[in-house]
Amino acid sequence: EKVFGAPKLVKASAGYYDGRADHWKQKKAMGGGAMYDMGVYTLQAARYCTGEEPIAVTARHSTTRPDIYTEVDETTHFELEFPSGARAECATSFGQSMNSLHVTYENGWVQLQPFQAYNGIRGEASDGRRFDARIPNQQAKQMDDDALAILEGRPMLAPGEEGLRDIRVIEAVYEAAAKGERVVLD
C-alpha cells in the first residue's frame, strides 16, 4: 500500500570518515572504493523505495585526500532515473559522515536518520508518524534463512541475482563518472 502515492524523489546518503591511509578499501584490486562499500546501501534504498530498476545514471567522484585515494573513489555522487519518472539523488563517502534517507511522494514524505545502522534507526513521516526500529542481528537472520532455503529448496531472502543487479548499476555509476555523461542502462 502506498499511503502517500507514487515516489517522486529519493535522497539517500551513506558514508563515514575513514582516517586510515593504507587499507584494503583504498585498493582497487581488492574491491575498494566508497561506491562498492557504502554506496550500495544508497542504491538499494533507491531501488527498494521506487520498486523499480534504474534506466539511466549520471555520476561524479571527488576526493579531499588525493594522496590516499589514488585508485578508488573517496566520495561519489550519483543520480538515478527510473521508468516512472522518479529520480534518486545519492551520495557515499569515506571522507565525510552521512547517513540519511528522504523519500518525497506525490502526497507526502518519509525520512530515516540514520537510515542504515545496526541499531538506532529513526524516522518520521509527513503525517506525523514516527519510527524507532530495533533491528535484530540481520546477518544471523540472513545466514539462518540461507541455510533453511537450501535445505527446503526455496528461494533465498537475498539471492545472488540481487547482487548482480546492484553491480550492473554500480558499473554504470563508474562509467558515468569517468565519461562525465549520462549512461543509459539496458
Q: Is residue 43 part of a domain?
A: yes
Sole residue written with cell 565519461: 179
Give pLDDT tens digits for 126-135.
Answer: 999 998 877 7
DSSP string, 138-157: HHHHHHHHHHHHHHHT---S
Q: Domain of 50: which CATH number? A: 3.30.360.10
* Residues paired with 13 in a beta bridge: 91, 100
Q: Is residue 168 part of a domain?
A: yes
pLDDT of residue 154: 95
Q: Which of 9, 13, 15, 14 is nearest to 80 (CA)?
A: 9
pLDDT at 113 exceeding the cut of 70: yes
Position with higher pLDDT, 168 vs 159 = 168
DSSP 168: H
Q: Is residue 69 part of a domain?
A: yes
pLDDT of residue 118: 77
Q: Is residue 108 part of a domain?
A: yes
Q: Is residue 143 part of a domain?
A: no
Alpha-carbon distance 112 to 90, whole Å? Answer: 14
108-112 and 121-125: which strand pairing? Answer: antiparallel
CA distances to 52, 53, 80, 116, 169 from 184, rounded to whole Å, are 15, 12, 10, 28, 10
Which cell numbers hold the place of 9? Answer: 524523489
Q: Taking the model in full, what pTM does it have?
A: 0.91
How many structural domains is the chain composed of?
A: 1
pLDDT of residue 158: 85
Q: Which domain holds residue 89?
A: 7-133+163-184
Q: Is residue 152 part of a domain?
A: no
